[in-house]
Chain A
């Protein structure tokens, strides 16, 4: 089974702090994704990566950056956390590009910015 793990289940940070969210997948997948999930809005794509050191903006990249130094690890960075970034963050991976490739999700990190 594909396993996607996220470094923290719950995180509390203060406004202005730099926040790192880590994601690791163990299936040698090419693609990795970061979403945020808010009630009534579903999942919205922040950034994705289709290869090591490659990244692409999703629908809501403002205020975020990402890093993919190794194939199995994809980090989401909040350079200066703000209260409107309080949300559930979900990481996903898929084997390769293509419409039929299933995305596998981690358990999520619930971030509270005070």
Chain B
């Protein structure tokens, strides 16, 4: 079946550096791709999304890149801060709005 997967389960990054979290997807019919952040003890929180007809979208300190040729999605976090330590999930949405989540990447920010 179709699936969303992540390349790395854990990412360790030094404070101030840029982080890149990668995600592979297999359903070329997905309309939207979304990144969620889940801090310890909390539910996932929406970060940013990108429509399937776009290649790049920027938010505050975050950028999402979509490469439809190789079915790859990435989240870039600029100047990573301790508060960015969390699990990050990519998800793909069908036209209805149902989400299919990846396994998640744990980001650990070191001083």
Q: Residues on A close to B: CB < 8 A?
A: 4, 31, 35, 40-45, 48, 58, 90, 92, 94, 96-108
On whether the beta carbons of B49 and A90 are closer than 8 Å, the reply is no
B 42-57 contacts with A by CB, 8 A: 42-46, 49, 51
Given A42-B101, A43-B89, verify A100-B43 contact (CB < 8 Å). no
Binding-face segment, B59-67, B70-78, B91-99:
B91-99
Whether B93 pairs with A108 at a CB distance below 8 angstroms is no
B83 at the interface (CB under 8 A from A): no
Q: Give, as a whole number of angstroms, the nearest-CB distance from A42 to chain B.
A: 4
Beta-carbon contact of B45 and A105 below 8 Å:
yes
Is there contact, CB below 8 Å, between B96 and A99? yes
A40: chain B residues at CB < 8 Å are 9, 103
Residue A42 contacts which of B32, B34, B42, B89 (CB distance < 8 angstroms)? B89
